[in-house]
Amino acid sequence: MHLKPDGVTPVPRAMLISEFLLRPDFRVAPDRAVFVAAGDRLAHEDGDLVVTRPSGEQRRHPARDSHWICR
């Protein structure tokens, strides 16, 4: 999954995320896989994956690894 440059992306369907691209050349992996439901919004803040539910509730998931991808 690739997060848009504005930092948030709506999830179109339920999915399990084990890593994602923040930019085309920067990869982030949460400590453990994160289940997100349709309607959840994702953001990368202070090194964490932040999931915001449609109700406004937020959950933070620390990243175990983030790194630039050399091409």
Total-model pTM: 0.78
Query: Which of 37-55 are b and which e, b meaning 16 or more Cβ less than 10 Å from the residue's Cβ?
Result: eeebbbbbeeebbbbbeee
CB atoms < 10 A from the CB of 32, how many? 9
Question: Is residue 28 within 8 Å of residue 20, measured between CB atoms?
Answer: yes
Question: Is residue 36 within 8 Å of residue 3, measured between CB atoms?
Answer: no
Q: Is the pLDDT of residue 5 over 60?
A: no
pLDDT digits 0-9 by tens, 15-40: 898 888 888 888 888 889 999 898 88
pLDDT reported for residue 63: 86
- Nearest Cα to 52, choosing from 63, 66, 42, 65? 42
Q: What does the mean pLDDT of the chain come to? A: 84
Pairwise pLDDT comparison (67 vs 35), residue with the higher score: 35
